[in-house]
Amino acid sequence: MKRFISMLGMFLSSFSLMAADMTNGADNFYKSDKVTLQKVSFNNQYKMKVVGNLFVPKNLDRSSSYPAIIVGHPMGAVKEQSSNLYAQKLAEQGFVTLAIDQSFWGESEGQPRNAVAPDIYAEAFSAAVDYLGTQSFVNRERIGVLGICGSGSFVISAAKIDPRMKAIATVSMYDMGAANRNALNHSLTLDQRKQIIVEATEQRYVEFTGGATKYTSGTDHKLDESTHPIQREFYDFYRTSRGDFTPAGSSPQLTTHPTLTSNVKFMNFYPFNDIETISPRPMLFITGDQAHSKEFSEEAYRLAGQPKELYWVKGAGHVDLYDRTDLIPFEKLTSFFRTNLK
């Protein structure tokens, strides 16, 4: 995401960003004493292993079956960043929850690492339904999905062709297609978009002939006086003890950075096309009223069929809803899934 975020400093003069308060209960690495954690893995349709953390309430009676929720992490992140928190908080409310690592990221399979493949990203959620729907303690007619940031657009893409997902929620959603085609507030020109594509395709020659892989986007590793406020917002999560997490075998320098040659595949990603076909399954879009990304939730809500709801979190920015437990509306999410996964 670095490429389109960096364009903002050139084209956008101001944003309503989060206030100076950097607390609000930030607790990304929350560990609940009310749930059990089990590392699980399963294959997607392409025989690629997807790895997830399965959270189950400690008092769960495995002779019965329960509603379940799949949780997807922000684009370029891993399950230990934001999605584990959400999964545990929802498991405390009686749901079976599964926080997955997206294909090509974290502990899930996929080569090259950090590749962008929107269809395979969506497939990971359907594969998670396959897994949960075949567990004896899960009611396969009561499975929901929750996508945070970029995963919001991936769960929408998945739900359009997988009616087994009975309730769909997003938090701080990024439409990764629109974000790369247009940047925020449509600040990227067509000529600039074309130049990005040219750069990526020229790099294919380099890598095809044995050259080093090049990465793009993501979060800055250093701040200076010229760093854009949105980059500072991401830096505060990904590059500090608040949310920094590098999976074993990975490089901190590559965290959040997709490969340059694959990132342009987002240009062909249109998750909101036909979003109305998800109806009558319910959709909930949660965004901060100060979030730089709120345009994506607004557009999804505008296009979606009924029933749908756009829920505003007052005073919250985009990254605030990754881990700030004083702002995240867990009660709203619990109510939504409890009502719609009956």
Q: What is the pLDDT of residues 99-121, one digit of tens each?
A: 999 999 999 999 999 999 999 99
Give the tens place of pLDDT for each residue, 283-327: 999 999 999 999 999 999 999 999 999 999 999 999 999 999 999
Boundaries of every domain in the chain: 2-64+75-146+178-275+292-340
CA 195 to chain CA centroid, Å, is 27
Q: In this structure, which amino acid lies at residue 330? A: F
Beta strand 165-171 with 96-100 is unpaired
| pLDDT tens-digit series, residues 44-54 | 999 999 999 99
Amino acid in position 253: Q
**Interval 188-210 mean pLDDT:** 98
- How does pLDDT run across 18-33, given as a tens digit for each residue? 333 457 899 999 999 9
What's residue 24's pLDDT? 87
Confidence of residue 3 (pLDDT cuts 50, 70, 90): low
Distances (CA, A) of 80 to 100, 174, 187, 252, 334: 9, 19, 32, 14, 21
Question: Residue 118: how many CA atoms within 13 Å on its side-chain side?
Answer: 21
- 2-64+75-146+178-275+292-340 classified as CATH 3.40.50.1820: yes
Reading the block at residue 57, the tokens are: 């309430």
Find out whether 168 and 145 touch, Cβ atoms under 8 Å.
yes
Residue 142 pLDDT > 50: yes
Residue appearing with tokens 């085609």: 181
With 90 as the cut, is the pLDDT of residue 73 above it? yes
Alpha helices in the chain (DSSP H): 2-6, 8-11, 83-91, 118-133, 151-160, 176-182, 190-208, 229-238, 260-263, 294-303, 320-323, 330-340
